[in-house]
Chain A
């Protein structure tokens, strides 16, 4: 009976950990962390120019930010996308079909520094935004690595028929949860600073996406996993000590 409850705790903890890992992976791979909604009036005037600028020109945060603001852009950790009408023919249709065009952040681009903007002049480097950006794309990787390590430790414990590593698994999941929470905090902080420097034009609204929510919900799942593993390890140790004493007596 005693072992059955502890085994059940480990099973439930494992299930929750698996769910959290899936959610975090999906959130990290999608671009729906933050999304902008632009009025349709402006689309006609600068659509083609902004599109060419978003796709062809060199990497510049200022330029692609303007494109995102005016073309219903969505921003993620590794992707940025805009919503533009399809190729125009010789005659214009009244209701053009909108298509999504995405551009990924390359690894060097992830580590490129961020600058403060005053009008159109380039000013000094913004260290805070630079490090926040770097943390927000590295922490999810650390979290996933920790969870993977926990899995390895669990497999070894199972093979060795030892209950002690359960404590290690719990601690690792606790750290992973903290990393996940850190990711969400860094993203929100960085985005807020960006909007302070380059204010979106009037009529453009921004909102959080479902990817951010998935990442946010992964945090409590990992916390619950850590709690279950730690409880099972501690209780089993206590009970084992008592049973040993009982046998000795």
Chain B
């Protein structure tokens, strides 16, 4: 009864456990029931009826020995029966539905250089690994499938093969022991075979004898398989009969692999592993996202830099426009300007074009808001911005512009002279930064923030242009050409002056005597207009001249050059008229040396030219005739040499502003002195040693220059008369 009920329970329970319920088949459980009955029943009867006499007659060790063997056999039997043989879980139907249709039946895998076929299992929906086979009774694919054993009602696979093998070995040993000891008992009780002990013992011996033959045979078969490293399935199907078995590792290693290797993992009951896999993704994703975030941050940084550059370029006009409204912000981007041009030349070229326009805008607002105090402050600022040399220069520019246009046919000589002058002016500009700074600050304090901001911007623009002009000689010449174009545009922007200059430019190519006369007449007319205009228009008129000075370095240099030629021209003509024919044939190298000497002499020429037109400029610009005749001017002029004359001029003009500003200006002017003093030393030697070649150069250029300058002298005489 219990057996039947147990079987029924198993069948009933099987249904709900697995997805496809199977009908309970009692026939499947008959072998295992028989095996259990004979094994346990025979052994227990042997212990009850035979062992008591054996323990009494021989020794009590015999029952203990038999008990140990029996327990070992029973343990292996249970392990082989109830252990998972190594079932592979089936693939989920949704995942492999497509693969099932298109998958080929066989797929070859190479193991130890031998091709082994893997067959597609339609039930489990995957390719069976090598040595894996599908058991139709269990309806599962088993790893290292050996056979399905009905006596244990379980598949014998990789995981439980060793227990099955040990079960066979121990069972064979147990049967031999029981049969042997039973035989001993029977032999000792031949005369008492009618007792129940003898009867039971003989029955047990019969059962043992019946089972010994098949069990021993099976044990021998499996011993051979283990030694050869094969499975029953491979042996029966003849899988590696023709070729080499790639799964064998030698007799001893095969045996140790079966008996002593570690337990193979279980695939079916591992629900935890997928759970752990599910848990990991949340932790893995943040790390990836962090990496992606880092990459994004880097990209954003790069993009931000580009945007910042664009914003800088776009903000430049905005800053200039908003200068009046928001003074404080401008200084920050201005600080960035000097760094950028050093990095890229193209940007430098762009910056060269950009700065002039804001400077123009800066000047126009001042003109638009002409307060008396502001005008007074701006006036000294402008003077401070312009060097002492440049301050008297407007009259010089006006007077010399005519000769400059006339001297255009000598473009080559003019260019060389301009190059030298450019170098000098560059130094002057840099020096000017010093006095400009404190002057600007003082102006800001007294006048207001707007003045400070304006002055700051203008100064920042100057060094950038100067630095750009500091390039190579060829590049400087090209840039000078560009600067020449700029002043033309600036001149055209203004009305009457524009028309006058345009007429001058147009008339220059005619090269006729009538043209010279016409040039003289329009030059006089703008001067009269400038003198007649009121004070505020004068300042407005001044601003373009100042901008023209900074933008038109070339013209300024040309003017100075012409002045120098004019003054020594007269003296040298009278003194050195005979030597010119001897120097008419000098080699080209000598010409280069002479040009260099001219460049060295240029600062002195400038100083000499400044001395002679200084008085004229004073006459023109001084509002008070009394000051011109004052003993202050006369005394320092006579006492101090040419170098000190500049100091006197600065002191004179700066008397009007506050004492603090005058002190600052004096200190800055003193700082400017050293560069003036340094040039004369190297120039002294070449002058003394090469006085004649210099004269020769001048004599060469004299005939054309003399003719033009004679007319110039006439022009100057007219100015003096006026």
Contact = CB atoms under 8 A, between A and B. Distances in A.
Interface of A: 1-19, 21, 23, 147, 150-151, 154-155, 157-163, 165-166, 208, 210, 213-214, 217, 221, 231, 236, 239-240, 242-243, 245-246
Contacts of A1: 84, 87, 138-140, 155, 268
B497 interface: no
B17 A19 contact: no
Classify chain B: how many residues form its interface, as a range.
35 or more
Contacts of A3: 10, 13-15, 17-18, 22
B652 interface: no
Given A3-B10, A8-B81, A16-B40, A154 B18 contact: no
A10 B196 contact: no
Contact of B10 (A8, A160, A243): A8
Given A2-B17, A210-B197, A157 B12 contact: yes
Q: Tell me whether chain B's interface is mostly helix, strand or loop, or mixed.
A: helix
Given A1-B87, A217-B44, A15 B3 contact: yes
Nearest to A11: B29
A217 B7 CA distance: 24
7 contacts: A3-B10, A12-B81, A14-B6, A15-B33, A17-B6, A155-B4, A161-B15
B286 interface: no
Given A11-B29, A12-B36, A16-B40, A210 B154 contact: no
Contact of A242 (B7, B24, B271): B271
Given A10-B13, A151-B1, A163-B9, 18 more contacts: A2-B17, A3-B15, A5-B154, A7-B11, A7-B13, A8-B152, A11-B7, A11-B29, A12-B33, A12-B81, A14-B2, A17-B3, A158-B8, A161-B15, A162-B12, A214-B48, A221-B44, A243-B17
Interface string B9-52: 11111111110001010000100110011001100100111001
A121 B11 CA distance: 65
B269 interface: yes
Given A4-B14, A213-B52, A10 B6 contact: yes
B1 to A, nearest CB: 5
B153 interface: yes
B82 interface: yes
A11 B26 CA distance: 10
Most buried by B among A10, A11, A23, A213: A11
A2 B18 CA distance: 8
B630 interface: no
Interface string B144-185: 000000001111000000000000000000000000000000
A243 B154 CA distance: 21
A57 to B, nearest CB: 30
A239 B269 contact: yes
B6 A5 contact: no
A240 B1 CA distance: 27
Contacts of A23: 44
A10 B7 contact: yes
Nearest to B49: A210
Nearest to B33: A15
A161 B16 contact: yes
B659 interface: no
Interface string B266-289: 001101000000000000000000
Interface string B194-231: 00110000000000000000000000000000000000
A245 B22 CA distance: 22
A14 B269 contact: no
A20 to B, nearest CB: 9
A21 to B, nearest CB: 8
Contacts of B139: 1
Given A240-B17, A245-B271, A154 B32 contact: no
B262 interface: no
Which 4 pairs, one residue from A and one from B, show the smallest C-beta to C-beta distance? A7-B10, A158-B8, A14-B6, A154-B5
B302 to A, nearest CB: 45
B44 A7 contact: no
A196 to B, nearest CB: 24
A236 to B, nearest CB: 7
Contact of B32 (A8, A165, A217, A245): A8
Contact of A221 (B40, B82, B196): B40
Given A8-B153, A14-B7, A158-B11, A210 B33 contact: no
Interface string B84-102: 1001000000000000000
B154 A236 contact: no
Contacts of A243: 17
Nearest to B197: A210
A157 B41 contact: no
Contact of A210 (B48, B81, B138): B48
Given A15-B33, A155-B5, A242-B271, A236 B13 contact: yes
Given A4-B154, A161-B16, A221-B44, A11 B33 contact: yes
B10 A19 contact: no
Interface string B38-69: 00110010011100100000000000000000
A165 B196 CA distance: 40
B268 A8 contact: no
A90 to B, nearest CB: 30
Most buried by A among B29, B47, B140, B155: B29
B44 A246 contact: no
B47 A210 contact: no
Contacts of A236: 13, 17
Given A3-B18, A8-B10, A15 B36 contact: yes
A16 B32 CA distance: 12
Contact of A147 (B2, B7, B140): B2
A217 B47 CA distance: 8
B126 to A, nearest CB: 16
Contacts of B52: 208, 210, 213
Nearest to A235: B82
Nearest to B77: A12
A6 B5 contact: no
A11 B17 contact: no
Contacts of B18: 2-3
Most buried by A among B13, B36, B81, B153: B13
Contacts of A165: 9
A137 to B, nearest CB: 21
Contacts of A19: 37, 40-41, 44
B14 A7 contact: yes
A245 B37 CA distance: 38
Interface in B489-513: none
Contact of A13 (B6, B138, B140): B6
A31 B109 CA distance: 70
Contacts of B269: 239, 242
Contacts of A157: 5, 8-9, 12
Contacts of A159: 8, 12
Given A154-B6, A154-B9, A243-B17, A4 B36 contact: no
Contacts of B6: 10-11, 13-14, 17, 154
Contacts of B138: 1, 4
A213 B17 contact: no
A69 B8 CA distance: 51
A203 B11 CA distance: 60
A213 B48 contact: yes
A208 B44 CA distance: 17
Contacts of A10: 6-7, 9-10, 13
Most buried by A among B17, B49, B138, B269: B17
A151 B7 contact: no
Contacts of A21: 2
A151 B7 CA distance: 12
A170 B49 CA distance: 29
A217 B40 CA distance: 11
Most buried by A among B6, B41, B87: B6
B606 to A, nearest CB: 96
Nearest to B5: A154
